[in-house]
Structure 1
C-alpha cells in the first residue's frame, strides 16, 4: 500500500437521507466487486503516462463522478424500524493506491480467490464503495471496486463506471442517475400473485442449515473461464432445435444446469436454477416525464427460479431444458410481477426477506444463480490509456448457492467471446471442467492478447 485516503465529491453535496426502495430491501448486506486490468499504453506517446499520473487522473475523475453519483460517497445506516437507508453525507470513498510486484501476464485469473480477492479487489471496511488502484511491474494498472449491493445493482455500477471513465476523458456524461423512489411505491391496497410466496421467504422463517451443508461451504471456490463465440453459438443452435429461438443466455444457463446435474447420484434430488431479471424494461409504464428507468440508480431485480430432479435433467435434451429456463425468465419479465414484488415487500416490512433459491436445502443436489453481465461496459472504460485488457465481476458471496456471471470479452472488434465468472462448489467446478472442457477453458494470460485491437 502506497497511500490510503477518502475521496469525496469535488462539489458540496447537501446531507440527506435517501430511503431504500422496497426492491432494495430484498438485498442482504452483501458486497460485489469489479476489477479492470490495463496494459501499459504503447500505441501513442501522448497516452504513455507514469503510474502516478494515471492514479491522479483516476482519483480526480472519481471526485467529479461522485457529484451526480453522491450516494456512493455516503454510508448505509439503520432507521428506527431497523431497515437500512442511505445517509448521503459525502463522507467519501475509501481510496487505496497500491503496488504489486508482479506483471499483468503473471496474474492468475483462473484462481481469483488467490490473485484477486482482497488483493486487487479491496475489502470494503466502511461506506458504500471502496476503490483500489494497483500499479504493476509491467507499467500496467488494475482498478478494483467493491460496491454495497444494498445500494446499487450491476446496472447502477455500470452507469457509474462509464461516467467515471467519460469524465476522465473530459467527455459528456452519457447517463445522469436519478433516485426517485416514488417510482416503486406499492399499490393501495398491496396485492401480489401467490407465485411470489414461492420465490421469496422471510429470513426469520428459515431454519438453520443442516450440518452436512455447513461443512460443504468450505468448498465454494471462484474460477474464471473463457468461452469462444462459436461454442456459444453451438449451444444456442442445440437449444433452439424445435424452431423456437432461445437466447444465448438461456441456452448457456440450460447447458450449465444440465452439466451440474450430471454429477448427481441421487436421481430424486433437485437442481435449482435461478435467473436474475432486471426490471427496468418491465416497469417502463411507471416512468415519469424525462426520466428513463435506464438511468435509475438502485436495485431493480428479481430472481425467479426453477427446479428439476437430477434424473429428469439427465434425460432432457438441451432444447427441453432451455424451454424451462425461458419459462422461468418469462414468469418475472412483466410489470405485474415487479409490482407484485413491491407490494409483497410492503406487506412484510420491516421483516427482512430473501429469495428462496439462496436458502440451503439438504434435498437439493445443487442451487445456482445465473446473472447476465452482457451489458458490462468494459469497452467503454477507457480512462485515457485504452480499454481494459481484461475486466470481470468478482462476487464470492458465500452461502451455499452458486453464482455465475457471463460477460463480454473486452474487444473493440466485438467478436462475441465470453468471460465467465463462477463461484461454485469445488465438485461442480470439477464437473464443468471434465464434462464440458471443450466449452469452459481456464482463463489465462494468453487470452489477454485477444482482448485489445491490434
Structure 2
C-alpha cells in the first residue's frame, strides 16, 4: 500500500496568542503513560470532502481547546500543564491519496502497514494529529493520534462524536467539562491505600525498575471475534451475574496464559483499566474532558488461572475492579498532593514492551463508535488501533461491520499467537 502525501498543514489554536490559559494536569493525567495513542476510523463511500471535515474540526476545537494546546513543563514530573493560547500548539492535519479501493484492504486488522495511515507518534510535535486517507473509490480512513496525558479514550470518543455532528450541521447539546475542582485533595490529605509501585515510582528509578529489552521473537497482532452467541454460552456458565467485559477478560486471561506455556507456580497479573468517573462521590460528569482511568490488578498463580473455571477467574476480575471506588480515588488524589514536591514516574512508563507473564486489557466497548457519523451516507467499516507493539496487551472493541459481538486484539509473540488462535474459542 503506497500512501501519497498531498499536503501537511497545522490548524492554529482558536485563541489569539495574547490570551493564554494554563490547565494543570491532574494525578489521573500523570498516572497515564506519556505516549501518543492512535486509532483508525474507516468509512465506505460516499464520504464528506476534506474541506467539510476541516471546517467541522475547526468548530470542534473551539469546544475542545486543550487538543490544540501544548504541554508546558512536560519534563517536570511535579506539575506540568496544558497551555491553551500563546505561541505553539495547533493541530497537525495531513491529507493523502491511496491508489487502491478501500475494499482492497478490508477487513482492516492491526498491522505495521497501517502505521502509514496516521502521523508518526514517536516524533509528534502536536497533541492532536489527524490524517485523511482518500482511496480511489472515494472511501476514507481517518487516522488520529492524541497525547494520552491530555485525554483518555472516553474523552476522545466525545470529541469524535462532536466533530462528526458539526460536520453534519447538527446541534451540540453535550459540551466538555474542564472543571478540576471536583478532584481537589482532602484537608488534610491522607493516603488510605498504597500507591507506590502500583500507580507511581519515585525518581530516579532503581535499575530493577527499568524496562527489559524486547526479545527477538516477533510480536504479532491476533484479532478474534466473539459473537453474541459465544458470549452467551460463557455467561451460561456463571453462577452469578458478570459484565461482558469481566467474562471476556477472564476467558482471555486463561487462554493467553495457557498459550504462553508458563510454569504453574508462576504469578501472573492482569492490569485492568477502570473508568473512575462514576466511581467518585459525587460522580464526575461523563463529559469531563481529560483522564479519569485507573488501573487495578488482579493476581493469581498460573495454575489458578489455567485450571480454574471461567467463573473463578471472572470473580478475580470483578473483585479487583470493585476495589476502585471513591476511597481509592480520593487516596490517589491525596497521594499526589502529599508528594507534590517530589518527582514521580508513572508505573505505566516503566513497563517496557514485554508484559509476559502478565497482560493488560483495555476496553473500547463503551466508546460510541456507532455515533461517529460524518454524513454523506458513508458507513463505518472499521474502528481499530493501527498496530499494537506491546506483547501482552489486549484491546476489546465493538465489532462495527454488522456481526455484533466483540473483537479482541491480542498482541503476542508469534509462537504463542499460533496456539492462542487454536484455543481462543474453547470453553474449558
| TM-score band, normalised by shorter chain | 0.7 to 0.9
SS of 2:207's equivalent in the other structure is coil
Contact persistence 1:29–1:149 (CA under 8 A): yes
CA contact (8 A) 1:104 1:138 kept: yes
1:434 is aligned, of 397, 422, 425, to: 422
Counterparts of 1:242-257 in structure 2, within 5 Å, are: 242=239, 244-257=240-253
Q: Deviations over 1:361-396 (max 9, x none)?
A: 99x852111122112222111111334111123463
Match of residue 115 from structure 1: 113
Q: CA 1:395–1:300 in structure 2 vs 1: closer, same or farther (change >3 Å)? A: farther
Q: Of residues 319, 323, 333 in structure 1, which corresponds to 2:315?
A: 323
Q: How does 1:132-281 map to 2 (within 5 A)?
A: 132-197=131-196, 199-202=198-201, 204=203, 205-208=205-208, 213-216=212-215, 219-238=218-237, 240=238, 242=239, 244-262=240-258, 263-281=260-278
Quote the residue 1:451 is aligned against. Answer: none
Change (3 A) 1:73 1:250: same
- Tell me: CA distance 1:260–1:370, structure 2 relative to 1, closer, same or farther (3 Å): same
Q: In structure 2, which of residues 85, 98, 101 is the aligned counterpart of residue 100 of structure 1?
A: 98
Partner of 1:20: 25
Partners of 1:198 and 1:113 in 2: CA distance: 33
Cα distance in 2 for residues equivalent to 1:17 and 1:317: 50
Say whether the 8 Å CA contact 2:277–2:283 is kept in structure 1: no
Contact 2:61–2:67 under 8 Å retained in 1: yes
* Runs (5+) with no aligned partner, structure 1: 42-48, 288-292, 440-454
* d(CA) in 2 for partners of 1:80, 1:226: 41
Cα distance change on mapping 1:218 and 1:132 into 2, 3 Å: farther
Preserved contact between residue 25 and residue 80 of structure 2 (Cα < 8 Å): yes
User: For the residues of structure 2 that align with 1:301 and 1:318, how far apart are their CA atoms?
Assistant: 26
> Which residue of 334, 337, 340 maps to 2:331?
340
Tell me, in whole angstroms, the C-alpha distance in 2 between the residues paired with 1:218 and 1:174.
49
Q: Deviations over 1:131-170 (max 9, x none)?
A: 0000012220001100100110001100100000010011
TM-score for the superposition, normalised by structure 2: 0.88
CA gap of 1:397–1:174, structure 2 versus 1, over 3 A, is farther
| 2:214 and 2:353 in contact (8 A); partners too | no
Superposed CA deviations along residues 271-323 of structure 1, whole A, max 9, x for unmatched, are 21111100110124165xxxxx2111111011010221112222201111111
**Helix, strand or coil at the partner of 1:281:** helix
Distance, in Å, in 1 between the alignment partners of 2:6 and 2:196 is: 50
Are residues 428 and 31 of structure 1, via their aligned partners in 2, closer, same or farther at CA, if it must alter by over 3 Å? farther
Change (3 A) 1:170 1:12: farther
TM-score (normalised: structure 1): 0.83
Q: Aligned pair in 2 of structure 1 residues 81, 214: CA closer, same or farther (>3 Å)? A: closer
Cα RMSD between the aligned structures? 2.8
Aligned length: 413
1:30 is aligned to 2:35: yes
Q: Tell me the alpha carbon deviations over residues 105-130 of structure 1, each in whole angstroms, 9 at most, x when there is no partner.
A: 2226565233312x112214212100
CA distance in 2, matches of 1:283, 1:100: 46
Name the counterpart of 1:406: 396
C-alpha spacing 1:365/1:223, structure 2 compared with 1 (3 Å): closer
In structure 2, the partner of 1:46 is: none
The answer to whether the Cα contact below 8 Å between 1:266 and 1:310 also exists between their aligned partners in 2 is yes
1:377-418 CA deviation, whole Å, 9 max, x = no partner?
2211111133411112346364x6x2222121226x7x6322
Which segments of 5 or more consecutive residues in structure 2 lack a partner in the other structure?
Answer: none
Q: Is 1:396 the equivalent of 2:388?
A: yes
2: CA distance, partners of 1:73 / 1:230: 43
Q: 2:45 matched to 1:40?
A: yes
CA distance in 2, matches of 1:235, 1:329: 20
Task: Tell me how far apart the structure 2 counterparts of residues 170 and 361 of structure 1 sit (CA, whole Å).
Answer: 43
Change in 2 beyond 3 A, CA 1:224/1:101: farther
